[in-house]
Amino acid sequence: MSATSNGSARFLIVGPQGSGKGTQGVLVAEAFGVPQVATGDIFRANVSGGTELGKRVQAIIEAGDLVPDALTSELVRDRLAQPDAAGGFLLDGYPRNRGQVDDLSGFLAGRGEALDAVIELEVPRDESIARLRERAVQQGRTDDTEEVIANRLAIYERETAPILDVYREQGLVVRIDGVGSLDEVTQRIFDALAGRGLVAERSGGNGAAA
């Protein structure tokens, strides 16, 4: 089990597609002993579980529409209300825009909680594209063309990146160079969080999560 100086670990990890935030999010969540809460996982769990929220999501997806902010926020609130998230969490993929930022802030304030840090993985655009193209080849995803990848990054830059300005004003953003080996980037994250008094217990001396 891990600990922080204030007894909580409530994080948000943000980065463009190809930044490695999914992988790093898992490692950070494990190190701090909190669940990684990813919107894609929440959608799938509710749909496969046949919940009322899941049925609403499935109908929207089958119609080819995007899940609206209000429903996405409702699903996240439901997930964060579960017992394993009582002592903290790491959010991945939410909030994606200013409206969702407001929803999350209101929800946490209502519980007397707040985010401890927002981890920003910085990766140059050309590096993100190169990583995504390599992943598409490895996974045989022929629909992941350079044009499709560039469009995804444009959506991130237009809709999601601006939320970092909100969190910078609150002094929450920890900027991490996302270029390097997996272990190097993980260690940068742990070091930056430790500098804010957010310390995870880890085994070994190479930065591996316990």
Residue 29, Cα to own-chain centre: how many angstroms?
10
More confident residue, 76 or 1: 76
Any idea which fold 9-36+89-194 has? Rossmann fold (3.40.50)
| Mean pLDDT, range 41-70, rounded to an integer | 89
Q: How many Cβ atoms sit within 10 Å of the Cβ of residue 50?
A: 9
Beta strands, E only, the chain: 9-14, 36-38, 88-92, 117-122, 173-177
Single-letter amino acid, residue 78: D
Under the banding of pLDDT at 50, 70 and 90, the label for residue 150 is: confident
Confidence grade of residue 204 (pLDDT, cut at 50, 70, 90): very low
In 3D space, the residue among 181, 180, 185, 126 whose CA is nearest the CA of residue 153 turns out to be 126
Give the pLDDT of residue 67: 86
**What digits encode the pLDDT tens for the residues 111-126?**
999 999 999 999 999 9
Provide the pLDDT for residue 8: 76
d(CA 143, CA 157): 21
The 88-92 sheet, strands edge to edge: 36-38, 88-92, 9-14, 117-122, 173-177
Residue 143 vs residue 204, higher pLDDT: 143
Q: pLDDT for 16-43, tens place per residue?
A: 989 999 999 999 999 999 999 998 899 9
Count of alpha carbons within 13 angstroms of residue 140, beta-carbon side? 0
The mean pLDDT of 136-165, rounded to a whole number, is 87
Given a cut of 70, whether residue 209 has pLDDT beyond it is: no
- Cis upstream peptide for 35 (omega within 30°): no
